[in-house]
């Protein structure tokens, strides 16, 4: 778990003076911040969070993995990457993504990646861990509208593709994409931004050393 420094905490206190919950849903809720402009005037600022009351990043300053993004090189054919094409309700469209999912309470990101890849694709995940610790920590996404933090977990996938563990609300197609197909997807399809830039790394990668780009 990572904590923001004191200077950052002071900046947050100067920029906001209150927090109010707007919804009471099971998985995701809206909050209103009593935000303060540079001129001292107050205005309402809204954001979403998956975290429990009292545990929001706004309140704790803790950078913690809420979810994982999985970068799975297909072990039998390391020139291919495992992608998913999933229907996403907010955009009413199928989106090309890397497999991903939420981290359960008390679960480590690597364990979550193993579980989520199995659930979404039927494949087994073998983590690759020999890379810089700086890239194993959580990073913030959608920071203008949510406090979600994700860890990207890299490794190999093997086994047989299956949708048996998909939830009823999930509409997922598993794709083993080579570099030619990845280039086509980037040019022509709807793609999540967190997948798009990792796909550019995949295009430049060496199948004999597929995680070399993780050196920083």
The answer to whether residue 212 is catalytic is: no
Q: Which of 9, 77, 170, 212 is flagged as catalytic?
A: 170
Residue 13 confidence (pLDDT): 46
User: Distance of CA 115 to CAs 28, 125, 152, 181, Å?
Assistant: 21, 8, 14, 27
Transcribe 80-99 into DSSP letters: -EEEEEEEEGGGTEEEEE--
> Tens digit of pLDDT per residue, the chain (216 long)?
555 554 344 454 468 888 999 999 999 999 999 999 988 999 999 999 999 999 999 999 999 999 999 999 999 999 999 999 999 999 999 999 999 999 999 999 999 999 999 999 999 999 999 999 999 999 998 999 999 999 999 999 999 999 888 888 889 999 999 999 999 999 999 999 999 999 999 999 999 999 999 987
Q: Beta-carbon neighbour count of residue 185 at 10 Å?
A: 19
Between CA 111 and CA 104 the distance in angstroms is 10
Q: What's the pTM?
A: 0.90
Residues 96, 187: contact at Cβ < 8 Å? no
Query: 3-class DSSP state for residue 155?
Result: strand
Give the span between the Cα atoms of 78 and 74, in whole angstroms: 5
Sheet harboring 29-36: ordered strands across? Answer: 16-21, 29-36, 42-49
Q: What is the pLDDT of residue 2?
A: 55
Q: What is the C-alpha to C-alpha distance for residues 180 and 79, in angstroms, rounded to an integer?
A: 10
**DSSP label of 37:** -
Domains along the chain?
2-62 (no CATH), 67-214 (3.90.79.10)
Residue 131's nearest CA partner among 157, 148, 152 is 152
Going 36 to 39 to 42 to 46, the CA torsion angle's sign is: negative
């Amino acid at each position: 778990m990572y904590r923001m420094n004191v200077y950052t905490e002071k900046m947050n206190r100067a920029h906001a003076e209150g927090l109010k919950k707007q919804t009471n849903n099971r998985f995701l809720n809206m909050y209103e911040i009593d935000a303060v402009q540079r001129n001292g005037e107050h205005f309402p600022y809204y954001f979403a969070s998956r975290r429990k009351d009292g545990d929001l990043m706004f309140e704790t300053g803790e950078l913690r993995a809420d979810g994982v993004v999985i970068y799975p090189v297909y072990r039998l054919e390391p020139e291919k990457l495992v992608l998913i094409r999933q229907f996403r309700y907010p955009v009413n469209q199928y989106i090309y993504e890397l497999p991903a999912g939420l981290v359960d309470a008390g679960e480590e990101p690597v364990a979550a990646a193993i579980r989520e890849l199995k659930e979404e694709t039927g494949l087994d995940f073998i983590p690759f861990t020999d890379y810089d610790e700086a890239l194993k920590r959580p990073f913030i996404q959608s920071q203008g509208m949510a406090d979600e933090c994700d860890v990207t977990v890299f490794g190999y996938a093997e086994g047989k593709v299956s949708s048996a563990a998909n939830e009823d609300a999930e509409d997922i197609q598993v794709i083993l994409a080579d570099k030619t197909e990845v280039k086509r997807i980037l040019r022509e399809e709807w793609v999540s931004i967190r997948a798009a830039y990792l796909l550019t790394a995949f295009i430049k990668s060496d199948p004999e050393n597929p995680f070399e780009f993780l050196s920083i």
